[in-house]
Structure 1
């Protein structure tokens, strides 16, 4: 029996999970499911010990290739998340600036100071 088959199946399910249409509403759930699968796969990978059969080597190459695709998709997902966070910060800054436009004004322009001699 091929010992890598459960790892291959988990990797494939992780890839399919990331191929779904990820929206604002389901993103958190997809990330949670992906994390659970990743932890389970990590435990299986730790249990793998050499020597490997030719069949396991071939399946291992396929898993590595799938893992690279998964990594690209995850990087894209996290870049989208970062961009969204930047937009939220910019919106907060714009809202604050609009509600109190003189908050960040520096200097003493227009201020008269009396001094006694």
Structure 2
């Protein structure tokens, strides 16, 4: 039961890491910790070999259930990062327009175009 138990422990640690609240300041460190836990778990998953005892199957059911929660939380973090990147881009463009108001292309609103020759 050693490898299954190790996978269960690493998955539990991963679940605790992703479910704890993340502040934007500590996001970088948390993502590094998540990546390291995923690497460790991937190595352990490669070492799994059947047959499994009933206790190992119960641990496996826990792991599968936790994987869904982990995936949902990581998807939420990904959405937060995308939103932050969009906001940063919008702020950068707004700042550029404010600092250099006459460098933007001219607006065609209000221009008169005479079709007659």
TM-score range, shorter chain: 0.7 to 0.9
Q: Which runs of 5+ in 1 are unaligned?
A: 109-117
Write the mapping of 1:1-117 to structure 2, written as runs, cut at 5 A: 1-106=1-106
Separation in 1, partners of 2:21, 2:63: 23
Q: Runs in 1 of length 4+ with deviation above 4 angstroms?
A: none
Three-state SS of the structure 1 residue aligned to 2:3 is coil
Change (3 A) 1:107 1:62: closer
Deviation at 1:3, TM superposition (A): 3.2
C-alpha distance in structure 2 between counterparts of 1:3 and 1:61, whole Å:
15
Q: Offset at 1:107? A: 7.7
- The unaligned stretches of length 5 or more in structure 2 are 109-117
Structural RMSD (CA): 1.7
Change (3 A) 1:107 1:27: closer
User: How many corresponding residue pairs?
Assistant: 108
